[in-house]
A = this chain, B = another copy of it.
């Protein structure tokens, strides 16, 4: 699949077939993730692949906004022993986010659907995962990525808006913010 087509085709998929995703495919997704750039090449990431039914059920029951029946999930974590320290410490978030986007695109190109459930920095979102996965405190779950064969179709799209582009100089413009449904969070 052409790269631009794949970027537009990637959509958040919430309905999945129960066809399992094989281990090799899941490993390929992590290989794609680890090809992302990281600040000073720190590679501050770790990945927990979830395929076990009991663990999936527990994860689903504990996640806010995680009530989806995907046959697999990848928990993308930053390990603070691997991340940089000092003022550059939080670059791990950007590194792991780039890795996640690689997972989403690689999955799309392989006919899979994905959903990115953001956890960190919302402590109540990610705290339950310490118990589910026996995580040590230096490991911070940034997001859960659900993975499976899609049972819904969505149109490719870019949400391009020319009002968000500037050439060489910023200028004040009125933007319409998206409705913020933060009340539920």
Chain A residues packing against B (C-beta within 8 Å): 1-4, 6-8, 10, 12, 27-28, 30-32, 34-37, 39-43, 45-52, 55, 79, 81-82, 84-88, 90-91, 93-94, 97-98, 100-102, 104-106, 108-109, 116, 118, 121-123, 133-136, 139, 142-143, 157-161, 164-172, 175, 177-178, 180-182, 185
Contacts and interface: CB of A to CB of B under 8 A. Distances in A.
A134 B28 CA distance: 43
Contact of A94 (B28, B47, B97): B97
B178 A133 contact: no
Given A4-B109, A47-B166, A136-B170, 6 more contacts: A4-B32, A12-B37, A52-B167, A55-B168, A82-B175, A97-B101
Contact of A2 (B1, B31, B39, B168): B1
19 contacts: A3-B6, A4-B109, A7-B32, A27-B165, A30-B164, A30-B165, A32-B158, A40-B182, A48-B165, A48-B167, A49-B167, A49-B168, A82-B177, A84-B180, A85-B182, A87-B121, A94-B118, A98-B116, A139-B170
Contacts of A30: 160, 164-165
Given A4-B109, A51-B167, A93-B94, A177 B81 contact: yes
Nearest to A183: B86
Given A101-B101, A102-B101, A48 B166 contact: yes
Contacts of A168: 48-52, 55
B104 A37 contact: yes
